[in-house]
């Protein structure tokens, strides 16, 4: 898509600091990193969200994410990583992208960036049942 910034990076129309390229995937540094070495992994094909990712790309996408998570430890000296995907809400670019953020104990990043809530008594079972029912649908 001509107006998608990630498609333009994948095609070479926009510069990007690429860290991994395969036939199906590209990974590059985020221009506004949480921490230096923050990587974005995207499919070459324009796919907007994780549910839209074709089955044939799923294994390669996750395998590349594993490789990048290992590389931020081995190559950057991070102690671990934060790996995340936003779907639609908080997705700044409407092209599937997985974040791999290098982490070090005491780096100042504190969990998730949104408020936490609690279930009312018995409410967890109802939520779990609703999700199981949705997952049982073809």
Kindly state the DSSP code that residue 105 receives in the 8-state scheme.
Answer: T
Question: Does the annotation mark 97 as catalytic?
Answer: yes
Distance CA 39, CA 33 (A): 8
CB atoms within 10 A of CB 136: 7
How many angstroms separate the Cα of 100 from the Cα of each of 18, 36, 38, 116, 117?
A: 14, 11, 6, 23, 26
Out of 38, 95, 97, 99, the active site residue is 97
Pinpoint the alpha helices (H) of the chain: 5-11, 55-76, 123-136
Distance CA 10, CA 18 (A): 9
Could you give the residue numbers annotated as active site? Answer: 97
């Amino acid at each position: 898509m001509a107006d998608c910034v990630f498609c333009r990076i994948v095609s070479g129309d926009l510069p990007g600091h690429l860290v991994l390229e395969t036939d199906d995937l590209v990974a590059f540094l985020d221009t506004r990193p949480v921490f230096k070495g923050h990587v974005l992994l995207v499919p070459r094909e324009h796919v907007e969200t994780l549910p839209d990712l074709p089955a044939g790309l799923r294994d390669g996408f996750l395998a590349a994410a594993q490789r990048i998570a290992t590389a931020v430890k081995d190559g950057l000296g991070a102690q671990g990583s934060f790996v995340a995907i936003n779907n639609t809400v908080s997705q700044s670019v409407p092209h599937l992208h997985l974040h791999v953020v290098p982490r070090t104990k005491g780096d100042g990043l504190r969990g998730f960036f949104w408020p936490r809530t609690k279930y009312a008594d018995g409410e967890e079972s109802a939520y779990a049942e609703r999700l199981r029912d949705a997952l049982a649908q073809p």
